[in-house]
Amino acid sequence: MTSSLVVAEVCAWLEYHEIRDKINIFFRALESYPTLKKCETSYEDELKAEELKSQYSHLEFFDRVYLAQMLRLNLTEIYSNDRGFDKVTGIKRIFI
């Protein structure tokens, strides 16, 4: 599963680095995984991220949004290079 916020962040990164022509390739790659679910980021996820700030101040806002989504969807594993997730009880960070 991936988040619509992750998709937006990747597209913004590609634009920032002036490789906009890779955005279509990225979307085709996402669509090439038929079992990959895409969850929508909600305003409620963002509100929850702000609530989580007191408990997880070491995580940036976007990461807390991902955490809020994970909590909402009962997900316990995240593929991330952000070691901040290692400090979140009940979440296992996987990085390849």
Q: Could you tell me where the DSSP H helices lie in the chain? A: 4-16, 23-31, 43-51, 61-73
Q: Give me the half-sphere count of Cα atoms (radius 13 Å) on the Cβ side of residue 14.
A: 15
Domain boundaries, the chain: 1-40, 41-96
pLDDT, one tens digit per residue, over 52-70 is 999 999 999 999 999 999 9
d(CA 63, CA 20) in angstroms, rounded, equals 24
Q: What is the mean pLDDT of the chain?
A: 96
Q: Sign of the CA dihedral 76, 72, 67, 7?
A: positive
pLDDT, one tens digit per residue, over 9-31 is 999 999 999 999 999 999 999 99
pTM: 0.88
pLDDT of residue 14: 97
Phi/psi of residue 88, nearest 5 degrees: -95, 115
pLDDT of residue 95: 87
d(CA 7, CA 2) in angstroms, rounded, equals 8
Query: At residue 41, does pLDDT exceed 80?
Result: yes
- As a whole number, mean pLDDT of residues 72-77 equals 97
pLDDT of residue 6: 95
Q: Which helix (H) or strand (E) holds 2?
A: strand 2-3
In single-letter form, the type of residue at position 38 comes to: K
Q: What confidence tier does 80 reach under pLDDT thresholds 50, 70, 90?
A: very high
